A and B are shown apart, each in its own frame.
Chain A
């Protein structure tokens, strides 16, 4: 599953229905003293306990009238139904119908299932209705433990449905630290942790581009397999935006629809919108249809209206549909794809080609006549408003014969890559034609082991040398079109690829051998890998003449790549990648990352990244408990090369158990010479409002290893 796939915020599992209670006639009465007339009234005094299945009454005195089946309990009365308890001086209760009345009750609703807090309160009067519904008048309700009343709901009428675990408040005011902060004529909240419709914690914020912001997300639990979040969001400088996210999940299809609409933006004087759809549909005969499309009203939409860098950093929004089929051997697909390219005004880019359509076929038959047979085929039609249009056909059959033993392997492979282009006559000098190239390679490796001891710990150390030889003859491809091709990143894995280009339009000429060695330290007994280090380099016997642009390259050796990832202690991990150019005696690329993660809620990440001419930056982020319930969060991503802050975040979360307060200030770059600065604050009253989307999403994306404060066990 992709991370951007469908994921519901809360569980989507069906739970078994609560056991049905048979309140049959079996009743137990215990007391210090029981007296009265048989078949008429019974009077019990002193530590009275009257029980029937699912309900119990305790009191100092109970008068039970058998004719009316009514109990009147007096003095320290405690009624329990479905685990909920009501305490008061006097209770009238009809046992047969499970109804009754109590004056000046105190009530408590215990933690149910995985609910995060127990609820409690008081009222002037309680009506106990059948079906485990209690109706409380002039009540106060909170999830704070006694004696704290950090927040409470003052409500004219509160309905507690103990069976469906829903609380409904009519005419209620929320008080926070003694101050009324919200009035609502109707408010519904879950008594357990189930998905229930209701308002999520509101978010108050401000940003430089849009002024003051207020979002009031409403979560609508439409059905077990469908939900929606509707978010009205007010921007003081722009106007009111309505956003909605609708998700659905069926056995054969699932998807999500997103829409945002801001009519008549007062700054730009235009309607602004975003629309996104994702849909995956299983069809008969192992076929699947996947649709993904996004559209925004203008290039600046995300930069102006989003506080998420994942949105603002996007350049190409796809409109993509793929119909695919697969079985044990074949994978076939038909695809149409176009993009909306969002331009940075100061750094415009050439928009990519559309594919209308692309047909792909790939097949792999293993262990057939002692070999693995592979075929890749493609037929595509490329369209572009400014560049040359055309079609491309690719067929690439290949066969490899793997020889594997416990101590190593040798895999020779041969294939023939054939491509044909059709393009119209054009001024750009792009020609149609065919290209056929044999591709030959041999991959070989050995495995060595030895036991190794370090500071009393026993390890198994491996040594894995690997050689990869690749031969592809040269063919001039400079006049052929380039529809979709780029150079692959040069990294440890790429040294074993048969083409240094990806996308099909260029086949790199090669007469080269890659030499690499990997060593691992594996903990004895558990098999856990504690350290892995690899080193590799490519040796070129001939110059590399095929390029996307620029002259041929005639280095005899590639840069050296070293990769080390380790788990130094159970709480410290580190990753190092270094690409070193021996000819220039300097580093072409490098990254060092260290993470210290002693326990959930306590994490420190630090990284340094370098790429010659492009990147030099440090990135430090942390979530760290400061004092009692107070946790600090911070991130700095600083570009040393540009001498500016790429992304910075500082904030805190305060968890007082029955409420949480989050405040986050966030600043990041959205385009050349453009930054977004925002401030967000969110108050969550446990058990009343539910967890919202922002700023938690911002925190999750900024701080790797971040945990929500209430997820941390204390």
Chain B
């Protein structure tokens, strides 16, 4: 049906500069993910083929579902990451500032809030990794012209 095993190197950039405004868990996941591939992360943006910048990274938690007694049944967790990809010396960015939103639902427990807090951390960890994956896939498509 036309599917083929992914053969090429992952994002099509051999030297990437990675930076973030403030601390970024998505940037940590990006580093972790790129550590095993062929892309090298460089500290000097001038020596990089492209520069990826995490502009904002915001965590949100809002009530998603209420029970018939007015208690929280589910929260929605939201991770909003905005980023851009530029090439040194070029004005036009490869990827103009873009936003990705990743969502998860988590039920609440009135008797075990600490357990739910730990579960929330697990979900956010997942969401950081997913956001990093989405960014890398987008770079791959743009960079390799797929």
Name the distance in Å between B94's Cβ and chain A's nearest Cβ: 10
Given A591-B105, A646-B70 in contact, is the A463-B3 Cβ separation under 8 Å?
A: yes
Q: What residues on A are CB-neighbors of B36 within 8 Å? A: 367, 402, 404
Q: Of A366, A497, A646, A701, which one neighbours B66 at CB under 8 angstroms? A: A646
Interface of A (DSSP majority class): strand
Name the distance in Å between B55's Cβ and chain A's nearest Cβ: 13
Chain A contact residues (Cβ within 8 angstroms of B): what range?
35 or more
**Residues B109 and A577 in contact, CB atoms below 8 Å apart:** no
Q: Does A473 contact B (CB under 8 A)?
A: no
**Residues B61 and A309 in contact, CB atoms below 8 Å apart:** no
**Residues B105 and A502 in contact, CB atoms below 8 Å apart:** no
Q: Which of A660-714 contact B (CB under 8 A)?
A: 668-672, 674, 701
Question: B64: nearest residue on chain A (CB-CB)?
Answer: A609
**Residues B8 and A489 in contact, CB atoms below 8 Å apart:** no
**Residues B112 and A352 in contact, CB atoms below 8 Å apart:** yes
Q: What residues on B are CB-neighbors of A491 within 8 Å? A: 104-105
Q: What residues on A are CB-neighbors of B106 within 8 Å? A: 489
Question: A668: nearest residue on chain B (CB-CB)?
Answer: B70
Looking at the complex, which of A14-22, A234-242, A443-451 is the stretch in contact with chain B?
A443-451
Q: Does A147 contact B (CB under 8 A)?
A: no
Q: How far is the CA of A489 from the CA of B71 in the complex (A)?
A: 17
Proximity bits, B16-39, A CB within 8 Å = 1, else 0? 000000100000000010011100
Q: Does A637 contact B (CB under 8 A)?
A: yes
Name the distance in Å between A386's Cβ and chain B's nearest Cβ: 12
Q: How far is the CA of A646 from the CA of B68 in the complex (A)?
A: 7
**Residues B68 and A669 in contact, CB atoms below 8 Å apart:** yes
Q: Does B41 contact A (CB under 8 A)?
A: no
**Residues B119 and A489 in contact, CB atoms below 8 Å apart:** yes
Q: How far is the CA of A462 from the CA of B7 in the complex (A)?
A: 13
Question: A617: nearest residue on chain B (CB-CB)?
Answer: B65
Q: How far is the CA of A488 from the CA of B126 in the complex (A)?
A: 14
Q: Of A318, A408, A525, A529, which one neighbours B137 at CB under 8 angstroms? A: A529
Q: What residues on B are CB-neighbors of A312 within 8 Å? A: 70
Name the distance in Å between A198's Cβ and chain B's nearest Cβ: 29
Name the distance in Å between A108's Cβ and chain B's nearest Cβ: 37
Q: How far is the CA of A641 from the CA of B65 in the complex (A)?
A: 13
Looking at the complex, which of A1-9, A34-42, A46-54, A77-85 is the stretch in contact with chain B?
A1-9
Q: Which of A621-671 contact B (CB under 8 A)?
A: 637, 639, 641-642, 644, 646-647, 668-671
List residues of chain B with CB under 8 Å of any chain A CB. Answer: 1-10, 22, 32, 35-37, 57-63, 65-73, 95, 103-107, 109-116, 118-119, 122-123, 126, 134, 137-142, 145-146
Q: What are 14 A-B residue pairs whose CB atoms fall within 8 Å in the complex?
A: A3-B60, A313-B66, A344-B71, A352-B114, A367-B36, A448-B4, A450-B2, A462-B6, A491-B104, A491-B105, A493-B126, A502-B122, A669-B69, A672-B70
Q: Which 4 A-B pairs have the closest CB atoms?
A: A527-B141, A527-B138, A503-B115, A669-B70
Told that A341-B110, A451-B2, A489-B105 touch, could you supply 16 new A-B pairs with CB distance under 8 A? Answer: A315-B110, A316-B110, A352-B114, A353-B114, A355-B114, A407-B5, A448-B5, A463-B3, A486-B111, A486-B112, A486-B115, A486-B119, A488-B119, A523-B141, A524-B146, A525-B145
List residues of chain A with CB under 8 Å of any chain B CB. Answer: 1-4, 309-310, 312-313, 315-316, 318, 337, 339, 341, 344, 346-347, 349-353, 355, 366-367, 402, 404, 406-408, 446-452, 460-463, 484-486, 488-489, 491, 493, 497, 502-503, 520, 522-529, 575, 577, 591, 609, 611, 614-615, 617, 637, 639, 641-642, 644, 646-647, 668-672, 674, 701
